[in-house]
Structure 1
Amino acid sequence: MPQMDWLENHMDKCDQMAEWLHQEFSYEFAQQSLASWQQEFAAGQRDGHWKCLIATEQDQLLGGVSLASDDLPDRPELGPWLACVFITPTARRRGLAAQLIEGICNHAREAGFTTLYLHTHNQRDYYTGLGWEVLERFEAWGKEQWLMSRQL
């Protein structure tokens, strides 16, 4: 059975999570090396900038979701953000992403936030099913994107 915990308690898995994110969202990291992102992501576990909730099973990393202080350079007035949603392909279709997303939403609510934001280029319908609302459509990184929010 998968276990959920903060990545900061499992920093031996931080570089792997950062590598998966760098590969999955390569269009966002076009100007940033993997090593630089791994350093930023690790620092973000300590300072809260990329606070990541992960799922593991038998000490194997299955994926994670982050609460980011900012995730869209063109919209600095918005935040915090649900970001870095990734489940390894072999662990998909088990509801892990939804559980991790709820964990981040609960944490943000307990921290006093009332709204979370996210942007996606291909998962609008998935997030709508989880209670997120589309705010606007925009272009970024050469892709159509959807800016969404969820009231906590």
Structure 2
Amino acid sequence: MPQMDWLANHMDKCDQMAEWLHREFSYEFAQQSLASWQQEFAAGQRDGRWKCLIAMEHGQLLGGASLASHDLPDRPELGPWLACVLVAPSARRRGIAAQLIEGVCSHAREVGIITLFLHTHSQRDYYARLGWDVLERFEAWGKEQWLMARCL
């Protein structure tokens, strides 16, 4: 069974998680090198900008999800965000993403956040099943995107 913990407690996994995100969401990182993103993501674990909950099993990173202060440059008035949700392909279909998402939502609720936002281009229906509401459709990074929110 996977263990959930904050990435800040396992910084040896930070570069790997950042690399997975950079590769999976390459369209968002077109203007940022992997090394630059790894530095930003690591700093974000220390200052809370990218507070990431990770899943591990037998010392191996399985995936993560972040509570981010900003995640959509064109919408600086919105936030905080559920961001950087990613589970390794070999660990998918085990409910890990849902556990990570719920962990981030629970933490956000505990610290007084009442609404979280996210954007997705391919997982709208999945997030809707987890209680997220579509706010609007928009175009970004050359893809159709969905802005969603969840009241905590």
Q: TM-score, normalised by structure 2?
A: 1.00
CA RMSD of aligned residues (A): 0.3
* Residue of structure 1 in register with 2:101 after alignment: 101
The aligned counterpart of 2:17 is 17
CA distances 1:122-147 after superposition (whole Å, capped 9, x unpaired) = 00000000000000000000000000
- 1:3 CA displacement: 0.3
Counterparts of 2:20 and 2:116 in 1: how far apart (Å)? 23
Question: 1:28 and 1:36 mapped to 2: Cα distance?
Answer: 13
Q: Deviations over 1:7-34 (max 9, x none)?
A: 0000000000000000000000000000
Give 1:1-152 correspondences, 5 Å limit: 1-152=1-152
> Equivalent residue of 1:77, what SS?
coil
* Corresponding letter in the other structure for 1:4: M
In 1, Cα distance between equivalents of 2:29 and 2:110: 31
The CA distance in 1 between the partners of 2:74 and 2:27, in whole Å, is 16
Aligned residues with identical type, % of pairs: 84
Instruction: Measure the CA separation in 1 of the matches of 2:109 and 2:79.
Output: 13
What does the per-residue CA deviation read over 1:88-144, in whole Å, with 9 as the maximum and x for residues that have no partner?
000000000000000000000011010000000000000000000000000000000
Structure 2, gaps ≥5 residues long: none
TM-score by length of 1: 1.00
Distance of 1:32 and 1:70 partners within structure 2 = 16
Distance 1:139 1:23 in 2: 20
**Count of residues paired in the alignment:** 152
User: For 1:139 and 1:21, how far apart are their aligned partners in 2?
Assistant: 20
- Deviating 4+ runs (over 4 angstroms): none
Which blocks of at least 5 consecutive residues in structure 1 are unaligned?
Answer: none
The amino acid of 1:89's aligned partner reads P
